[in-house]
Structure 1
Amino acid sequence: MSYVIAPSILSADFAHLADEVRSIEGAADWAHVDVMDNHFVPNLTFGLPVVKSLLAATSLPLDCHLMIEDPARWAPGYAEAGAYNVTFHAEASRDPAAVARDIRAAGSLAGLAIDRDTPLEPYLEILPAFDTLLIMTIKAGFGGQAFIPELLDKVRQARKHVAAGHLSIRIEVDGGINADTIGLAAEAGADAFVAGTAVYGEADRAAAVASLRDLALAAAQSR
């Protein structure tokens, strides 16, 4: 199994965002872009213009996590712009599978995000429509929150379902992922990890990414 490390640019220096993304090229697998609209979540970050600028500045695949209202209207635009993966929240969509079809048709992988207080069960049957399942290990909307271990039960549940159905889908975790928690998430069955300060808080970003990947691999091998 391959493991994806996706540093979150929410922890980067916004004044030098393109340089901050380029600083993880060659080490990270994806750059994670948290798009917040101050409606679905009480915070405001990036939008499509910033994503377009980053796409022109880096070769690193952009993993766009849309914490926004009305993803049916907005999500395909991120795919059309060239994002590698576009993830939106189940809680914000009336028909997640239809939104996923539109994202894929626009040229991107499609991801479904499940927030802290949302049960996974109602969405298991539509997972074949997606390429990524993003399970929040915090409450969506703010960086720097503490990891909630109990939410790994959803990761375990998802991994069992994916294995039983022979589905081709990544299970991504987002929230409080660092050297102390990435092993727990990998043991539970995650294979993609969003890390913010654990990468951007270090002087050597490449070494931080490599260390996180090694910890995930070691934990998974002991599972």
Structure 2
Amino acid sequence: MAADGIAFGDISRPAGIERVVEVRLPTTHGEFLAIGYLDRARMREQVALVHGDVSGHGTLTRVHSECLTGDVFGSLHCECGDQLSSALDAIVAEGSGVLVYVQGHEGRGIGLLAKLKAMRLQTEGLDTVEANLALGLPVDARDYRVAADILHDLGMRSVRLLSNNPQKRDALRRHGIEISEQVPLLTSPHPENLRYLRTKRERLQHLLPHLDGLSG
């Protein structure tokens, strides 16, 4: 049993990460246990927010890629901030769940400055895929191994993954995470991000059926 009465499954700690600290974290969404990790391979700090008892099967789980512009500044260019809030609300409403916030995933893994350059190219007419390629960068450079290691460390037997991205689902499965269900995480589009969302659906195969019939 972990701090504050939160239970985890049987664990065999992955060698690539170190669990450094656990602390109660009350938020506007509800109360969580913040568990801080050190990713030894990349020397990055990572965090998981745990709510309730996550020791069973089919735990509601969000693996959220770092997005400074969306998560912190409320950018309407993407849906990241809305997804982060919606995921935390859904986990609390469920009564238990985990959100892994992955540092190093900014701009689908290309970094903050490159992401801002890609955003500028999008104002000139390129879509989010074309902009990355025009900079000589991968369309998606994210590695989900550390997220999978954290879920393994928490003893997660299987997860219900809050995500519209089948590539994320498949990547986690390749790293040994059993996914019993992919749960949609749909947010209301804005005029500022509608083209971006359509590109994610059409070119990155994101599951976004709520865009059907929208104009603009």
Fold agreement, TM-score > 0.5: no
For the pair shown, the structure with the greater C-alpha radius of gyration is 2
Relative to its length, the structure with more helix (as a share) is 1
**TM-score for both structures, normalised by structure 1:** 0.27
**TM-score for both structures, normalised by structure 2:** 0.28
